Amino acid sequence: MMTPVHTPGPIGVFDSGYGGLTILNGIRQLMPQYDYIYLGDNARTPYGTRSYDVVYEFTRQAVVHLFNMGCPLVILGCNTASAKALRRIQQVDLPLLDPSRRVLGIIIPTAEVIGQLTKSRHVGILATEGTIRSCSYEMEIEKRFPDIQVTGKACPMWVPLVENNEAHGAGADYFVKKYLDQLMALDPAIDAIILGCTHYPILKDKIEAFCHPGVKIITQGEYVANSLKNYFERHPDMEVRCSRGGRVRYLTTESAEKFSECATLFLHERVAVEHVTLTE
């Protein structure tokens, strides 16, 4: 077990790649006063097609690394990690690592508000194969809104399109329309679609252009940020442990130069990046 450290530290945000930057952006827009560390496991991305055990092990390594850097709180800004690793880390690892720290995910904050965002009570999920297969959104939404029917569709081509800077090209048009049409064919009554992968907000304009009129497209950053703010209001003991300096550090397990170049797609600015290695 780690020795509990209560010196204020940054909020950690972890993702398998770049997509979690959309979560970090949402949080920083609402709460810019805190310090943050973003860690992308770009060397081992994507997580979406990996097994539960592998996703858990990789995510655990990242959480331990962020804890060792002084983070009292880590947000898994990755839907796959939230679906496949969060509960095990919370229930098994935290009591051994440091029961005073917290690890939170990004699926529940979206599930908590979906009831306010659908009138037809038919909701679609567009996500990676791993997140769709986990049925995590279906389970979390059913707990809170048993009257809502949830239909999921995996979009395996969307992440590569974003990361190869093709999100605004004609090739993206084809694959955006293809998966949207497939989802709506499964349930034409859908009036709200959750983008259940943190890369997908980069494609939001195209998604809205090809979507049926009246269908609301839901990105997670805003709702995760609001949920975290509410969490701090309910847990002031954790809020005071998060340092306030408005600073952000960016870490990657891949090339720092490559991360900085690709991060501009999400952040619209160049950032300084440090290379790290994740181990047990």
Active site (catalytic) residues: 78, 197
Judge contact between 136 and 83, C-beta under 8 A: yes
Rounded to whole angstroms, the Cα distance separating 181 from 223 reads 26
DSSP secondary structure letter of residue 147: T
For helices 221-234 and 20-30, what crossing angle results, to 10°? 50
H helix intervals, 85-235:
86-88, 94-97, 107-113, 129-134, 136-144, 158-163, 170-186, 204-210, 221-234
Judge contact between 241 and 228, C-beta under 8 A: no
Judge contact between 26 and 38, C-beta under 8 A: no
Report the DSSP beta bridge partners of residue 274.
251
Q: Distances in Å between the alpha carbon of 4 and those of 72, 90, 94, 238, 242?
A: 9, 16, 12, 13, 14
* β-pair type (36-40, 248-252): parallel
Name which of 161, 178, 183 is nearest 262 in CA terms: 161
Q: Which two tokens stand for residue 72?
A: 């009292």
